[in-house]
Amino acid sequence: MPKCPAVSFHKKAAEHIPEALWPALGPILEQIGSLTQRIREYDRKLEEISKERYPETELLRQLEGIGPLTALTFVLTLEDPYRFEKSRSVGAYLGLVPATDHSGDRDPREKRISKEGDEMLRKLLVCSAHYILGPFGSDSDLRRHGQKIASRRGKNAKKRAVVATARKLAVLLHSLWINAEVYEPLRNTHRSGGQAA
């Protein structure tokens, strides 16, 4: 089976199925085609809702890896961006910060992320972070941040990098929403380069 995008899989796969298997696999491919069409329709509806009712989602969609579903979920979950005094608080609100263990006289130990807040938005941000750090993500301060954490090696370095990128992504999305700024992917890199010169 040659590589193909998910949206055309049901068409391409049909060309490569042996005739003997068609009675068993044909109905499955039809279902896949039907589901693909329904997903496209839902995507269009999300686009319409975002543009008509929640124009602020366009600010968030400036970032590569943030689609209409993630932007809309972010806006609807946070509701009022001004309820957070600092953008950094958004990561904690969504459970993307390590929980700490305060027991007895010992120093606090970092544990896994707290997973407080909205689970769906947290998962969407983690998926976006995977995209940003993956092979299709373009160069940005956010990607470099995650790659730096992943390069430290150690146990679960890649997982920590994804969660750290998702947390930083939540902070960045909130900041863009509050300030209505144009997103500059390499803003911090250019700023530090300008100071060094």
**Same domain for 77 and 107:** yes
Question: Which structural domain range is residue 24 located in?
Answer: 1-53
Q: Which of the residue ranges 2-11, 114-123, 124-133 has the most confident prediction, judged by mean pLDDT?
A: 124-133
Q: pTM value?
A: 0.80
Q: Which amino acid is at 114?
A: S
**Same domain for 68 and 18:** no
CB 182 within 8 A of CB 62: yes
CB 141 within 8 A of CB 187: yes
**Same domain for 86 and 34:** no
- Three-class SS state of 20: helix
> Could you say which of 17, 33, 53 is where a domain stops?
53
**Same domain for 117 and 66:** yes
Q: How confident is the model at residue 10 (pLDDT cuts 50, 70, 90)?
A: confident
**Same domain for 84 and 20:** no
Q: Is the pLDDT of residue 181 over 90?
A: no
Q: How confident is the model at residue 131 (pLDDT cuts 50, 70, 90)?
A: very high
* C-alpha dihedral (51, 122, 175, 164), degrees to nearest 10: -140
CB 132 within 8 A of CB 169: yes
**Same domain for 138 and 91:** yes
44-51 CB contacts, 8 Å cutoff, 24+ apart: 46/72
Domain count, the chain: 2
**Same domain for 125 and 35:** no
Q: How confident is the model at residue 197 (pLDDT cuts 50, 70, 90)?
A: very low
Residue 109: enclosing H or E segment and its boundaries?
strand 109-113
> Could you say which of 32, 53, 74 is where a domain stops?
53
Residue 56 neighbours by CB distance under 10 Å: 17
**Same domain for 60 and 32:** no
pLDDT score for 194: 46
∠ Cα 96 74 191 (to 5°): 70
**Same domain for 24 and 72:** no
Reported as a single tens digit per residue, the pLDDT across 14-40 is: 888 888 988 999 899 999 999 999 999
**Same domain for 184 and 108:** yes
Q: Is the pLDDT of residue 8 over 60?
A: yes
**Same domain for 163 and 104:** yes
**Same domain for 191 and 110:** yes
Between 51 and 4, where is the model more confident? 51
